Homo-oligomer: A and B are copies of this chain.
Amino acid sequence: MDFEYIEGGVTAALGFKASGIHCGIRKNRDKKDLALLASDRPATAAAIYTKNLVIGAPCTVTKQHLENNTARAVICNSGIANTCAADGIEKANRMCELTASALGISADDVLVASTGVIGPSIDMTPIEKGMPSLVAGLSAGGHTDAAQAIMTTDTVKKEFALQFTLGGKTCTMGGMAKGSGMIAPNMATMLCFITTDAAIDGAMLKSALAEVADDTFNMVSVDGDTSTNDMTVILANGAAGNPIIDTKNEDYQTFTAALYRLCEKFCRALAADGEGATKLLECRVSGGATKRDARLVAKSVINSSLLKAAMFGADANWGRVLCAIGYSGAAVNVQGVRVEFSSAAGRVHVCENGAGIEFSEDSAKKVLSQNEIVIDITLQDGDAFAKAWGCNLTYDYVRINGDYRS
């Protein structure tokens, strides 16, 4: 598939506008806390949600509003997660109503998301007061304000966009995400909002999102804590004028491939900006017996606190990789495992057939001192492949999470 990354974010696709303001949910006036995204026409929409049993009220309300697979707008606040609060559903519905009324659309066509501390009830007053200026600010140039408004402990905004061709028409897909822990700090919930002007029906959009999410969002871990508010939403408004995708044809494959490219970008950005993180880790597993086994191995390695701490120390402690493979739950012939570390500084082969081999500690130190590290695991069990993304464990992770609420 041909595609090209372009500048921009959630408004890169035709017909989408966004804005972001500080309305007062957060005390810090310099931190925007309310974002709005709107399509100028009805859009097909799909979402995936956290699998946590304790589920945020906004996820529940969004799920209801997506029963008809269509939406026009997304309202999202940061600061408070609106989860485990007795009035959560009522407040999430109220956020949709306020937005719908300001935009002149139906509340059913508004999706809602929240991220922040679990527990507190969310005050509607700042949202009510801020709504007029939020709506007035909607523009194609508002994507950056929106991307900033959904951030919590993130240190950088996360926006990407790309273009591809369907039935001779140029289609654009873009998005914004937040999450500085993922799969997921319950205060730094992972949220991702994607828009596209491609025409695709609800069933195909759902299917593409689920397929891609299994290989992208579900393969990222900052700390193994699955959030209560995780949500990825995609809106497709058809403004590009391509023949609508309503079956798993070649256009569907192109669309899914484009979605994968975009989501992979977000995953790398989310992991690299993991709380306290200074290094992005990518674990690639090949030769797995099944896709499931390869995924289990990749995620187990990326999740190991010990390996994450070793990467912090640029320590080629490959025994921790073997250990994490061993307890992953995957069916693996441990006598067939090869492990290599690589980065911009080179590649070092540390384990073959499940046992250590001689390697230069100096070279290993150089390789592991870079800020993007790849851990290549080659199994001899089949031909399945999987990739997962994570980050190192640092003092700052402990500092950030030692007193998040204050």
User: Does the CB pair B305–A406 fall under 8 Å?
Assistant: no
Q: Which residues of B contact A395 (CB under 8 A)?
A: 395, 398-399
User: Does the CB pair A323–B401 fall under 8 Å?
Assistant: no
A24 within 8 A of B: no
A310 touching B85 in the complex, CB below 8 Å, given contacts A54-B354, A323-B118: no
User: Does the CB pair A398–B404 fall under 8 Å?
Assistant: no
A405 within 8 A of B: yes
Copy number in this complex? 2
Q: Closest Cβ of chain B: how far from A385's Cβ, in Å?
A: 20
A84 within 8 A of B: yes
A303, A305, A310, A351 interface centre (most CB from chain B within 10 Å)? A305
A334 touching B54 in the complex, CB below 8 Å, given contacts A323-B227, A405-B317: yes
User: Does the CB pair B186–A118 fall under 8 Å?
Assistant: no
A1 within 8 A of B: no
User: Does the CB pair A313–B401 fall under 8 Å?
Assistant: yes
A310 touching B402 in the complex, CB below 8 Å, given contacts A118-B320, A319-B119, A322-B54: yes
Which of A212-236 touch B at CB < 8 Å? 223-228
Q: Which of B118, B303, B398 contacts A312 (CB 8 A)?
A: B398
What 1/0 flags go to A303-338 for Cβ under 8 Å of B?
111100110110101111011111100001010000
3 pairs of A and B residues whose beta carbons are closest in the complex = A118-B319, A313-B402, A54-B326
Name which residue of chain B comes closest to A312, CB basis: B402
A83 within 8 A of B: yes
User: Does the CB pair A304–B354 fall under 8 Å?
Assistant: no
Q: Closest Cβ of chain B: how far from A341's Cβ, in Å?
A: 14
A51 within 8 A of B: yes
Q: Which residues of B contact A306 (CB under 8 A)?
A: 181, 185-187, 223, 225, 401
